[in-house]
Structure 1
């Protein structure tokens, strides 16, 4: 139920005559097994459409009609654009009747505090009812009951007859009705809500939702609940005690004093709340279920209504379907006529306008059968989501690319026409083009836009003319461009509209770039992240590769466009005609990828992964990147000097050991000395014939006690710290913000871990003293502290959870030193006064097992014989047999399926796990074993990042999240808010898995505040 206003005012809009309660169809049809009943929560949808769509006024009289348009588009989608096997046989629109219901008699304050409906929405209520009648659909409302009660009753009756039911709504109050035969469908997000989605929302299955709501209450409807108990706590209590009655009966057993007292004092409120939220499915219906049978509407009447509302695009769709010339139908005289249209539906849900590429999977307008009609030839055809996705993909692939159709936009008139077109389709592909890869400092070269295949353009904004800048009055800009400020002013309402879908590719770059110009990109989708959610590990997610893979199309090569070497151009120096060809094609490819990949999310059950772990994180990371972090240049300068001295000293020692002049930076010279002159073992040559001197090779030799390779490693490490961090970091300071702004990549790893670039802040060594010194240069601004919140041994905890290792789980519960416990289990050494060397070995094994370490690797790491390391690993598996079983099961699963899954459903693909090459096969086996743990940990911190900003805002705290480094989050917090911020951050991070996954082993988060990153960590 909407949270912003009452569902319907008590009085109809002015100058509208009251209508009958229901418009009955021409004939009844008994609902039976195999039928599909659609029940639209009309009152709720009105408010969703109103708030989702931008204001839209009829030209003839200025009346706002955005909610009416959204409602009509939704009805057309249900009747004509649903897959053939998922169309309604029975359909009704159910409204609240603005009278007191039985709930108000039970609890007079029920819904007492809801604000009135917006003034410009009130006149639309009557028009929406008229729209329903124009579609010749039942328009239901019944005195004394809410729409939800009628829906519950119809759903029960349909179930009893063997029919399935779809409730068109996203209202949480209806989720109690979901079963294997009853689903909910959110048309605005094209999202199905079944049992798993209800569990994700409430932490309990649908049959327990009422119990949770009774405890948590609902401030929107003024349902009291139990003060201090939210959804999460309520779900935990119901899971533990079974139901509300048992919980209240055993409330004295609850250990937490505040929770126990709250339940005891508010038991009656909880019982009343349950009555308020429990839907009545025994309503004596005034309109029988059989009378909801779908039939063909009077097309001329519907066209007359749509013309009166001035919905030209939808009028054309209906006329095309009915094969009627709309010019031969007069507008309904009761409603006036004429204007532009906005459609909130995504491409897979919109019948294409003439000239558009046909939407794959949409019913052909001219040949479609009446909705609900049976097709004997295809009655056994299974129109599964997978088949639908395949069909849509095939349709898109058949549409060739026409680069000649791409046009530059050099003035506002065609730009405004394109904006109107985007309102018509309801979506827009967009990509910001710039001369820099740093979105914080990038100057906009232009914007690439697309609204349909081959209907793409480029809006150049900052291209420079060749040889410009010579004249006194020469601006340097090429002609035929709109001023950036004018173009963005025209585009801003569209880009910030929550009702228009903006589709990007690595859309975070565009989001940050536009944010620098005061535009907040809203309602985004990211085709790259869809590809990542579906195919992580199965290939590149670069636009060029995806265009080739999905469409067999080679895009314009960027390198060929800008050149290379000294003559390399920045994008703003590329001529506008060539830039248009490249940029518009990119937007076209992005839009096509979106239309191909979005149905796959549903078909392959990856929608939840994308919607909960990928898409919401884009805006979170965009804000983090814009905030940046302060560094102390003086600290870095001193460190750079120290590292230079160390490198010089080590280099002198290397020369002395070698006994000859050595270029320490030359791998060839180093290899010749180690394996040629010194004759050390283990040498192998690369394809070029040079000795291999990789870090692994040098590590192995150093572990054997050879001094020369050890010194080379030392020199390489200190030189890298100097060049990569102490020298480079100051060059990344933004001249406007005076802070360092890293860029995060979401689709860079197979497991869901983020990567950090330009600069990379995730690879600063934390276990070495030199690495910690670099972290000291990251500082809080005056009056603030840096807070580091870090998951403690999260992957080991997940290993204990997933592999079900009782000893490890109990050790974590008891707060034991996990490495000391492991050592005690393996070596029989008491935990108290355990030698540090013994604990170090156990720690190496603990973490090594997660990464599938071999006996050879463990031997090198601990400096012991391979036989001894092999015995350690064997004993480890004997003491913890569940771990071996977990590893074997994971490898077997991956061999069968090609992927492993995290606890949250992310798929990590390892197609080479069956490779004939033994080393490749072993690597993929180790990676698959680790992926379930690392991927789950990555999903958990993503969930925490998505939630923490709202949690801080709810507590009116001004802490800002700046960095994510694997299992750690860094915040900047005002000094006087540190004490209040720490527990909020810890709770969000610890509860991040809930309610999707309930861990038996609680997570632990360590959080500290200090003036710099090192001290806080």
Structure 2
């Protein structure tokens, strides 16, 4: 080796004093590397290679530079060869609960062995023995010869080997494990580890141990009695009844467990220790292996280290993320790149985000969650000190806790802060404990006066030079704005997760804490109660509130640390910085603005709907010839298929007749009146219950407006969702549905403006599929559906039959969603064969669309995700499932996601730019609502025309300068007194 730190030993030369033997627990490292390193696939064929890459990086580092450790003179990678060992003969259930190796890890095992050979390192395994037994035997042989030994592993089972001259080294944490570290973990010295393990057992290996005894208790017992046998002999002396009874009852189980965990230090060795001497890798062999695996960056490093030359321009970054459902739940997800935080000054070998991530992951694992470390701050001076420290550090996690979930009504009960993982502070500001003493008043809670605390908080919360880490930050922004505080400079771990893992994870803090940090949070129910016993957060005991809120900010800080570096590592920084983070403040302003809704209009509509419902019920029962509960699917099915014997009925899994919308639509299309009227009845009944009856309850008592809440991280494609109330699902295809929008009105002297993208998804499709005919039609301003019908059916656009145009429209939009012949047939009420012919003709006329669809499916199958034009990744980790129905669903979704997601990204870009554009134009209009492709504004009457002009300009140019669409975007805008008239 060219490294000055690497020592060579001649093959066959006995190990002696002064040598340093490194023994790699290869099997253990493979699994750690698989779960801890970024999921990678080989670009040329999609072969999973993440664990191989991690193993190679570790091996190269050991050979080239071992930090404070002596370089190896001898090195061996030791593998498990078989699952059955002598321990299985002793205990048939040994390791019985271990799951199968992940499917995409299995092909990597032989590749890792190939890697070891390519590095010219001894590759050792023995059937019938575990790698740990081989390591134990080699380690003791080396030590007896006077050599020092480093076991490259963090496996607790190997800690029994630690002693003077034998230590362990965890490469992922860059941590040496000596006798002190073993005592810290087990509470006993290495020589007693076997005794402790015999008592506690091991769930991962299915070693039974003694029920009810954990590490602390086991260490206490062994330190008191000296060893397991003495403890079992004197178990009757133990005072604790349950502990005494278990030790007596499970004594033989403990003895068996000790045998199972004791390493065999006399394993017969097929490869003598002397033959593990370190040799310089053959540059040609090693670089050829790296080239074959397409490890471009590592290939460059290896070539430079060995002095080998590469062909010009050979090595380019090439690895791509692995597709796997559970790749989200692995330790690397807690692997921040460390812009800030406790470990930011720690040097990292190699400098790559993955290497730094691994080190950070290890450091976070070593910081336990302990709610006892969450302090309650009731003194102004202490709060000031914390804020000063936060300002000096430049970042801190924050949370405002409200008395109610609605940020437009909840009052601030307190705030929480965290500056370093494992510690947090809760500042109660509005707590009252109720009349606990029965004195006719409320118990006084020690806390800082609200206004005094807010005066301290306002400067730092509004300071753009200090980063606030806030999970699901928008409610905090809305609530604080009511107190005159504008929360600025925010990083939101939930949105980071959304940018990284849309489609393969949930993004709320409790879910992320479980999957990324392996931690189960306190729940609202545990803290605030349920049902009638539930209380607002301001009524929670301060000590309990401190635990809950402190945990929230502690988790937020840790999540930020683990997710921040992944943005760059997985190439979604731009998505987060330009589409996610800046939209929060836009939506917070929209939520605060709300929209005026007239109670009188809703009441009038509700009355009219009630009359319609009553009329339809009479007509339905008359057609049925009897009284029945129209809302009962069971009774309706019996009327339609048993009594009336209508054709095409199908039963659900429960055996009942299916009366879902699709079933009723099929029957209605065949001319049957009763199912058509039931569909009408369902529509009107839903409009009444969901909107005209429910919306009045959402009108804010002070503002007189409805303040919906937007959710950024709910859909996989980037589309926003609306809740409490949901204003995005108001039907617009029926007269009754559209009438709901009449209740949404402008304030006196103002107008509502609707600005709506025209056929944006079809335009995006025309761009992405590069279809000249469609592009030209949009450029010429043609009726796209009539043009499609003309192309497909050879009919002139002028005087076209509306039915033909309708069919073309259904196909146009159906193609976006990957519609099948079955789906199109049901939608148009035509035979399946005819629908299949339509789709075939469509692809013949527009071949680029078919090519696009196949390309998206192939991309999703290869990488596990597809991307929008702005880089948003939508993951489908199970797209290669063997279930054809599920696979088809995922493939259709993969076709649609880049189109729908790009459209969603475009309107996000428009929304983010809108406020500045209106301000620059000197306009006072406010953006109130977003409903998919439509934005709703409220503007003074004399500014309506100019507002429409600005809105259209911003929306039509939203993709630029990042993207110049080949198809022009068109926005239709209209102003009126209510939403329906403006649409």
TM, length-normalised to structure 2: 0.64
Find the residue that maps to 1:787 and give its secondary structure: strand
Report the equivalent of 1:48: none
Offset at 1:464?
A: 2.9
| Change in 2 beyond 3 A, CA 1:398/1:695 | farther
Residue 813 of structure 2 corresponds to residue 823 of structure 1: no
Report the equivalent of 1:583: 549
Report the equivalent of 1:398: 366
Find the residue that maps to 1:522 and give its secondary structure: coil
| Change in 2 beyond 3 A, CA 1:490/1:716 | same
Report the equivalent of 2:670: 704
Report the equivalent of 1:883: 849
Report the equivalent of 1:465: 433
Alpha carbons 2:337, 2:562 under 8 Å: kept: no
Find the residue that maps to 1:911 and give its secondary structure: coil
In 2: Cα distance, 1:457 partner to 1:700 partner: 61
Offset at 1:714?
A: 1.4
| Change in 2 beyond 3 A, CA 1:891/1:477 | farther
Alpha carbons 1:772, 1:1014 under 8 Å: kept: yes
Residue 503 of structure 2 corresponds to residue 537 of structure 1: yes
In 2: Cα distance, 1:485 partner to 1:1010 partner: 42
| Change in 2 beyond 3 A, CA 1:496/1:876 | same
Report the equivalent of 2:690: 724
Offset at 1:683?
A: 4.4
Residue 376 of structure 2 corresponds to residue 386 of structure 1: no
Alpha carbons 2:337, 2:565 under 8 Å: kept: no
Residue 956 of structure 2 corresponds to residue 966 of structure 1: no
Alpha carbons 1:462, 1:477 under 8 Å: kept: no
| Change in 2 beyond 3 A, CA 1:863/1:426 | same
Residue 475 of structure 2 corresponds to residue 509 of structure 1: yes
Report the equivalent of 1:622: 588
After superposition, residues 832-851 of structure 1 pair within 5 angstroms as 832-851=798-817
In 1: Cα distance, 2:533 partner to 2:642 partner: 43
After superposition, residues 148-187 of structure 1 pair within 5 angstroms as none
Offset at 1:926?
A: 1.1
Report the equivalent of 1:867: 833
- The structure number with the bigger radius of gyration is 2
In 2: Cα distance, 1:435 partner to 1:676 partner: 54
Report the equivalent of 1:925: 891
Deviations along 1:8-51, whole A, 9 cap, x unmatched?
xxxxxxxxxxxxxxxxxxxxxxxxxxxxxxxxxxxxxxxxxxxx
In 1: Cα distance, 2:523 partner to 2:650 partner: 38
Q: Structure 1 stretches of 5 or more lacking a match?
A: 1-83, 86-345, 353-357, 369-377
Match of 1:348 among 323, 338, 354: 338
Match of 2:489 among 502, 519, 523: 523
In 2: Cα distance, 1:656 partner to 1:912 partner: 49
Residue 526 of structure 2 corresponds to residue 560 of structure 1: yes
In 2: Cα distance, 1:509 partner to 1:682 partner: 49
Offset at 1:689?
A: 4.9
Report the equivalent of 2:923: 957
Match of 1:437 among 400, 405, 408: 405
Offset at 1:674?
A: 3.2
Deviations along 1:807-834, whole A, 9 cap, x unmatched?
0001111111000001111111110011
| Change in 2 beyond 3 A, CA 1:477/1:996 | farther
Report the equivalent of 1:363: 346
Residue 407 of structure 2 corresponds to residue 417 of structure 1: no
Offset at 1:409?
A: 1.8
Report the equivalent of 1:760: 726
Deviations along 1:304-356, whole A, 9 cap, x unmatched?
xxxxxxxxxxxxxxxxxxxxxxxxxxxxxxxxxxxxxxxxxx99234x6xxxx
Match of 1:693 among 642, 655, 659: 659
Report the equivalent of 2:909: 943
Offset at 1:699?
A: 2.6
Report the equivalent of 2:617: 651
In 2: Cα distance, 1:623 partner to 1:675 partner: 53
Offset at 1:707?
A: 2.9
Offset at 1:663?
A: 1.8
In 1: Cα distance, 2:526 partner to 2:920 partner: 51
TM, length-normalised to structure 1: 0.62
Alpha carbons 1:434, 1:442 under 8 Å: kept: yes
Match of 1:671 among 622, 629, 637: 637
Q: Which moved more, 1:759-768 or 1:383-392?
A: 383-392
Alpha carbons 2:337, 2:566 under 8 Å: kept: no
Report the equivalent of 1:984: 950
After superposition, residues 997-1012 of structure 1 pair within 5 angstroms as 997-1012=963-978
Deviations along 1:264-283, whole A, 9 cap, x unmatched?
xxxxxxxxxxxxxxxxxxxx
Offset at 1:490?
A: 1.6
| Change in 2 beyond 3 A, CA 1:469/1:967 | farther
Offset at 1:933?
A: 0.6
In 1: Cα distance, 2:357 partner to 2:787 partner: 51
Find the residue that maps to 2:937 and give its secondary structure: strand
Find the residue that maps to 2:878 and give its secondary structure: helix
Alpha carbons 1:703, 1:860 under 8 Å: kept: no
Report the equivalent of 2:762: 796
**Aligned length, in residue pairs:** 650
Offset at 1:789?
A: 0.8
Report the equivalent of 1:163: none
Q: Structure 2 stretches of 5 or more lacking a match?
A: 1-63, 66-335
Report the equivalent of 2:133: none
In 1: Cα distance, 2:392 partner to 2:505 partner: 35
Offset at 1:362?
A: 3.3
Alpha carbons 1:389, 1:603 under 8 Å: kept: no
Deviations along 1:766-820, whole A, 9 cap, x unmatched?
1211121111111111111111111110100111110011100011111110000
Alpha carbons 2:337, 2:357 under 8 Å: kept: no
After superposition, residues 19-168 of structure 1 pair within 5 angstroms as none
Report the equivalent of 1:145: none
In 2: Cα distance, 1:671 partner to 1:401 partner: 55
In 2: Cα distance, 1:559 partner to 1:876 partner: 54
Report the equivalent of 1:715: 681
After superposition, residues 737-756 of structure 1 pair within 5 angstroms as 737-756=703-722
